Amino acid sequence: MSQTPPQPSRVRAEIDLDALRANVRALRARAPRSALMAVVKSDGYGHGALPCARAAIEAGAEWLGTATPQEALALRAAGVGGRIMCWLWTPGDPWREAVEADLDVSVSGMWALAEVTAAAREAGRPARVHLKADTGLGRNGCLPADWPELVSAALAGEAAGDLRVVGLWSHLACADEPGHASVADQLATFRRMVAHAEGEGVRPEVRHLANSPAVLTLPDTHFDLVRTGIAMYGVSPAPELGTAAELGLRPVMTLSASLALVKRAPAGHGVSYGHRYVTGRETVLGLVPVGYGDGVPRHASGRGPVLVGGEWRRVAGRIAMDQFVVDLDGQKVQEGAEAVLFGPGDRGEPTVQDWAEAADTIAYEIVTRIGSRVPRVYRGASA
């Protein structure tokens, strides 16, 4: 039980589940009157859906959320109880399995209401439905003009015993941009659409709107339930909102590799495909055996930071599928030395935000795309 598993040698993503639990508790304290949904879509943003789901529940999360029904069904099949909601449905998806597995499902339009109704009849039990409003994100959800039709059809389904409308919900477009005018507009539209549904007779268990940035900065959006993804993994939703530490969050994932080769190279030596880096003088090169095949973004070629032997280095030249090179200058390190791509920053290592900036993207994408070839090593797993 207390034995430490051998460290995978090439590359590993350490997942600190104690940090995840602490983040869940911190987020719950930010939204004290709301229940918390731990969003574990896309394999828990790359951290592993199942261990993260379990740790989040241990820390008090009442709900789990996924995008696809398959993701939610996989959690159920692994023995996860409680409320699990999934929201990204496509015609032909496994509605009946979802009803039988007691999932909470989202409905954004009439086609979905028809499919879930048919599935509930086949299953012989009512479906638990959350009606999704498009209050201004312009993505999934039902627009205000179409809402009365969806609400009355859902109420008819409720009267027939095919379903229960347990949730009314929506999603924000710009919660990560402090002061963005769309937030107040979406909030007002959400209130109007909820009032309409309730006026028609819908009695939702939960009304929900807030994602991580809204949980952290927009208390008016909290309602009965908040849906937290990125913040639970200890990553700031946007640098404008503060660093993870400033937000009281602790990064959960540390990505590190072991140098596969350290070698002296002469001045004028081209490095990696395309020779986008050429040594300026005699130097020492370190080979980091991880690349875009592991989810390290090629777009960070020449820029991505790595901590080796206490020093920050930048990727020299291009990131290849399986490896990249750092110029170690005069540094004395050997093969096997640790190269930390990102982590909490305690040891001076870069953070996932540094990689997001180096790759011209957001931190969400960096952690989520760390691939299946990278073993996850869990710390703080429950017995």
Under the criterion CB under 6 A, does residue 212 sit at the interface with ligand PLP? yes
* Residue 367 CA, distance from chain mean position: 8
Under the criterion CB under 6 A, does residue 228 sit at the interface with ligand PLP? yes
Closest CB 41 distance from ligand PLP, rounded Å: 6
CB nearer ligand PLP, residue 215 or residue 288? 215
CB nearer ligand PLP, residue 211 or residue 301? 211
Which of 20, 40, 54, 87 contacts ligand PLP by CB under 6 A?
A: 87
| Token digits of residue 148 | 């009365």
Count of positions on this chain that bind ligand PLP (CB under 6 A): 12
SS3 300: helix
Which of 24, 39, 40, 168 contacts ligand PLP by CB under 6 A?
A: 39
17 membership: H or E segment, kind and range? helix 17-30
Q: Which listed range, 157-165, 227-235, 242-250, 300-308, lies at the site for ligand PLP (CB under 6 A)?
A: 227-235
Tell me if residue 45 is catalytic. no
Angle ∠(69,74,75) on CA atoms, nearest 5: 100
Beta bridge partners of 73: none
Residue from 41, 43, 38 nearest 57 by CA: 38
Distance CA 369, CA 87 (A): 21
CB nearer ligand PLP, residue 228 or residue 256? 228
CB nearer ligand PLP, residue 60 or residue 289? 60
Amino acid symbol at 132:
K
Q: Which listed range, 111-119, 123-131, 223-231, 325-333, lies at the site for ligand PLP (CB under 6 A)?
A: 223-231
* Residue 238 CA, distance from chain mean position: 13
SS3 170: coil
Q: Which of 41, 132, 292, 364 is catalytic?
A: 41
The residue to which tokens 């990249």 are assigned = 324
Q: Give the x-and-dash track for 283-312 against ligand PLP (CB under 6 A).
A: ------------------------------
CA quadruple 276, 281, 287, 290: dihedral sign: negative
Under the criterion CB under 6 A, does residue 108 sit at the interface with ligand PLP? no
Closest CB 183 distance from ligand PLP, rounded Å: 14
Under the criterion CB under 6 A, does residue 313 sit at the interface with ligand PLP? no
DSSP secondary structure string for all residues of 55-112: HHHHTT--EEEESSHHHHHHHHHTT--SEEEE----TT--HHHHHHTT-EEEE-SHHH
Tell me if residue 41 is catalytic. yes
Distance CA 322, CA 67 (A): 30
Residues 6+ apart with CB under 8 A from 121: 162
Under the criterion CB under 6 A, does residue 225 sit at the interface with ligand PLP? no
By CB under 6 A, the residues from 229 to 248 that bind ligand PLP are 229-231, 237
CB nearer ligand PLP, residue 103 or residue 271? 103
Residues classed as catalytic: 41, 273
Residues that bind ligand PLP in the complex, under the rule CB under 6 A = 39, 41, 87, 171, 211-212, 227-231, 237
